[in-house]
Amino acid sequence: MSAIGVASSCSCFHPGVWLLKSGMQKMSSFGLHTAARCAAKDYYEVLVLGGGAGGIAMSARMKRKVGAGNVAVVEPSKTHYYQPLWTLVGGGAKQLAASARPTGSVVPKGVEWIKSRVTALDPDKNCVWLENDIKVSYKYLIIALGISLHYEKIKGLPEGFDHPKIGSNYSIHTVEKTWKAIQDFKEGNAIFTFPNTPVKCAGAPQKIMYLSDAYWRKTGKRSKANIMFNTSLGAIFAVKKYADALLEVIKERNIAVNYKRNLVEVRADRQEAVFENLDKPGEIEVHQYGMLHVTPPMGPPPVLINSPVSDATGWVDVDKETLQHKKYPNVFGIGDCTNLPTSKTAAAVAAQSGVLDKTISLVMKNQLPAKKYDGYTSCPLVTGYNKVILAEFDYNAQPLETFPIDQSKERVTMYHMKADMMPLLYWNALLKGYWGGPAPFRKLMHLGLK
């Protein structure tokens, strides 16, 4: 789902690993695929743009539907990253290397990997243009180009990352700087930011804050830290049930939350962060910091801005229930690059992949899509080195929980699911096209209570 081979930053796809036995047995048909080239053909029945979570999952599903030789995925990056792990990498609980695999190892065997970048989409002519003016045509197009990071929209970045005391869990280049900044912290303000744009996993910017708090308590530094969460939003989380739980955590841990504050400049040489007060345009606040974690502004990939497939803001314009394009019936979208009104997470990609699979199957048979995506998304809110609040919800910001327990409670079991089970589920089931979200598991769990 990302043009740079990066999975969404929030990871709950989700826990029913033990239900995947039959799917896992089928996985032997997927082997290492290392061929990377410009398009071997100029036409594919199914063309997938993007080799992140959504793109690889749909490539695997389409391979089973139309045959490997009829599917191609366009992805320039040599490495595929499981970004949900970066919260724990930034907090020192996991190694960065554990989040990376060669792109060739995740592209389904036999599917053509076109190692190039998309430069333009022409849905009226059923083709796309790649680098070096290469044209590739298709019968069906799946757009899974992810979301772009824009550190440069903050004055003083990205060059500010060359200085100490600053990091960001959102980039391969800066996530390890977060852990160093946490370890090297001595005293003063520890500031964690949330930008005034859509982001991948709205919970991630505060997860690292809770891990920092826990680490400094363990090392005896917490009394010297003034932890601040400066967010552009007007609430701590979009779903009230989980927002209430997080506010209790924040109160217990003596964390200051400043709403409607948007980071506009970093003066890294002086350790100063400059925020705009969104309630009072033009008014700025300058804070000295002993540690700064930056969540960058984000937006649609440049190739989608002003594209025929996109809405006025640059996101792929799809039906929110079927994921079929609103204008072009042979074009589909999945993941962070779409305008689906739900939180942008890998959990959402998993649920969307199951729905999109059924949508495309019916479209191929000249039938109307019937399966409806309910906006399911999830974010395992890490609140410590052994605690997680498992948030699951739908388009209406209503809880859509899998387990017959109160998931707004901090739980050790949910932490281990996030840290240990979900990576296995990601690599071995979601990317293989065998995991379409927890809906079947949820039904089984709740039927068992009746």
Q: Are residues 104 and 202 in the same domain?
A: no
In this predicted structure, the answer to whether residue 300 has a pLDDT above a threshold of 90 is yes
Query: What's the total number of domains in the chain?
Result: 2
Q: Is residue 176 assigned to a domain?
A: yes
Query: Does a structural domain hold residue 355?
Result: yes
Residue 11 lies in a domain: no
CA 331 – CA 318 distance, rounded (Å): 9
Domain end among 265, 298, 331: 298
Q: What is the pLDDT of residues 162-187, one digit of tens each?
A: 999 999 999 999 999 999 999 999 99
136 with 224, same domain: the answer is no
Residue 18 forms part of a structural domain:
no
Among 298, 326, 354, give the residue marking a domain's end.
Answer: 298
Same domain for 307 and 437?
A: yes
3-state helix, strand, coil in the chain (%, to 5): 35, 25, 40
Residues 334 and 265 placed together within one structural domain of the fold: no
Q: In 305-324, which positions are buried (b, 16+ CB within 10 angstroms) versus exposed (e)?
A: eebebbeeebbbbbbbbbbb
What pLDDT, in 10s, does the model give residues 335-385?
999 999 999 999 999 999 999 999 999 999 999 998 899 999 999 999 999
Tell whether 21 is covered by a domain.
no
Q: For 54-107, write each residue's pLDDT tens digit.
A: 999 999 999 999 999 999 999 999 999 999 999 999 999 999 999 999 999 999
Instruction: Give the pLDDT of residue 35.
Output: 39
Whether 138 and 171 share a structural domain:
no
Of 267, 298, 329, the one marking the end of a domain is 298
Q: Which of 156, 234, 227, 155 is closest to 196 using CA atoms? A: 234
Q: What is the pLDDT of residue 19?
A: 33
* Residue-level pLDDT at 29: 32
On whether residue 109 sits in a domain, the answer given is yes
- Asked whether residue 287 falls in the same domain as residue 221, the answer is yes
- Report the percent of the chain where pLDDT is more than 70: 89
Domain membership flag for residue 17: no
355 in the same domain as 289: no
What's the pLDDT at 201? 85
For the stretch 400-411, what's the b/e string if a residue is b when 16 or more beta carbons lie within 10 angstroms of its beta carbon?
A: bbbbeeebbebb
Query: Do 129 and 163 belong together in one domain?
Result: no
- The reported pLDDT for the residue numbered 140 is 98
Helices 204-218 & 175-184 angle (0-180, nearest 10): 30
Please report the pLDDT score of residue 8 as a whole number.
Answer: 46
CATH of the domain at 420: 3.50.50.60
**Domain shared by 85 and 203, yes or no:** no
Residue 401 in tokens: 């929980």
Domain with 183 in it: 151-298
Find out whether 388 and 411 touch, Cβ atoms under 8 Å.
Answer: yes
Same domain, 172 and 127: no
Asked if residue 158 lies in contact with residue 152, where contact means CB atoms within 8 angstroms, the answer is: yes
CA dist list (Å): 412 to 72, 77, 263, 313, 438? 41, 35, 33, 40, 20
Considering the domain boundaries, does residue 36 fall inside one? Answer: no
Whether 115 and 134 map to the same domain: the answer is yes
pLDDT in tens, 131-159: 999 999 999 999 999 999 999 999 999 99
pLDDT in tens, 237-277: 999 999 999 999 999 999 999 999 999 999 999 999 999 99
Cβ within 8 Å of residue 367, ≥6 positions away: none
Residue among 55, 101, 17 nearest 335 (CA): 55
Residues 1-53 have pLDDT tens digits of 333 444 444 544 443 333 333 333 333 333 333 334 456 689 999 999 999 99
> Could you list the active site residues?
201, 379
On whether both 339 and 424 belong to a single domain, the answer is yes
